[in-house]
């Protein structure tokens, strides 16, 4: 990537984050991939000042990016693609803790700890307007365990 394009993207990101305070993304991360693994999930917290929905995500790191949720099918936890994820106004929505997440499918290269995965999130507001929020997900080491993992102890 040329340094001019990069500078332009950085300027665009900075300008967008100043004027588009409507949506804030925090704690975005993905786990490093194992050899041969061609998909990865991304977790984050999204807070929108206006009611809306996450309707799409894109990343140059993967062929396809999908919104997924986890559902119980009998005794099996299964992943299912969803069209949108509701973002109630002024409510932090945690992707990961509740089973919802973003899937990077068809990774173009393995995710290594310390990398940053660029993501563009498309948010559609209740009034029909849309915005794109750029964010970076930090890649954590493969052996990292999350306190918000899918382990449930009752």
pLDDT confidence band for 154 (50 / 70 / 90): very low
pLDDT confidence band for 29 (50 / 70 / 90): very high
58 Rama class: left (phi>0) / alpha (psi -120 to 50) / beta: beta
Q: What is the pLDDT of residue 30?
A: 96
CA 49, CA 65: separation in Å to the nearest integer? Answer: 25
Domain ranges of the chain: 22-140
CB 31 within 8 A of CB 104: no
The DSSP bridge pattern shows strands 23-31 and 91-95 to be: unpaired
What DSSP letter does each residue of 40-58 carry, written as one string?
A: EEEEEEEEESS-EEEEEEE
CB 68 within 8 A of CB 102: yes
Q: Where are the alpha helices (DSSP H) in the chain?
A: 3-19
pLDDT confidence band for 142 (50 / 70 / 90): confident
CATH number of 22-140: 2.60.40.1890
Query: Mean pLDDT over all residues of the chain?
Result: 84
Q: What is the pLDDT of residue 45?
A: 96
Query: Over the stretch 42-79, which tens digit does the pLDDT of each residue have?
Result: 999 999 999 999 999 999 999 999 999 988 889 998 88
CA 4, CA 140: separation in Å to the nearest integer? Answer: 29
Q: What distances in angstroms separate CA 134 from CA 14, 81, 131, 149, one per listed residue?
A: 10, 22, 10, 25
Rg (CA), the chain: 16
Query: Over the stretch 94-124, which tens digit does the pLDDT of each residue have?
Result: 998 778 999 999 999 999 999 999 999 999 9
pLDDT confidence band for 153 (50 / 70 / 90): very low
Q: What is the pLDDT of residue 71?
A: 85
């Amino acid at each position: 990537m040329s340094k001019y394009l990069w500078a332009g993207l950085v300027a665009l990101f900075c300008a967008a984050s100043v004027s588009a305070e409507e949506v804030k993304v925090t704690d975005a991360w993905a786990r490093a991939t194992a050899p041969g693994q061609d998909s990865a999930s991304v977790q984050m917290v999204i807070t929108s000042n206006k009611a809306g929905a996450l309707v799409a995500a894109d990343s140059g790191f993967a062929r396809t990016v999908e919104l997924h949720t986890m559902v119980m099918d009998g005794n099996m936890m299964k992943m299912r693609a969803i069209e949108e994820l509701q973002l109630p106004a002024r409510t932090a929505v945690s992707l990961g803790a509740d089973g919802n997440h973003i899937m990077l499918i068809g990774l173009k290269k393995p995710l290594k700890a310390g990398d940053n995965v660029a993501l563009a999130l498309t948010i559609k507001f209740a009034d029909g307007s849309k915005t794109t929020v750029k964010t970076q997900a930090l890649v954590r080491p493969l052996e990292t365990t999350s306190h918000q993992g899918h382990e449930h102890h009752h």
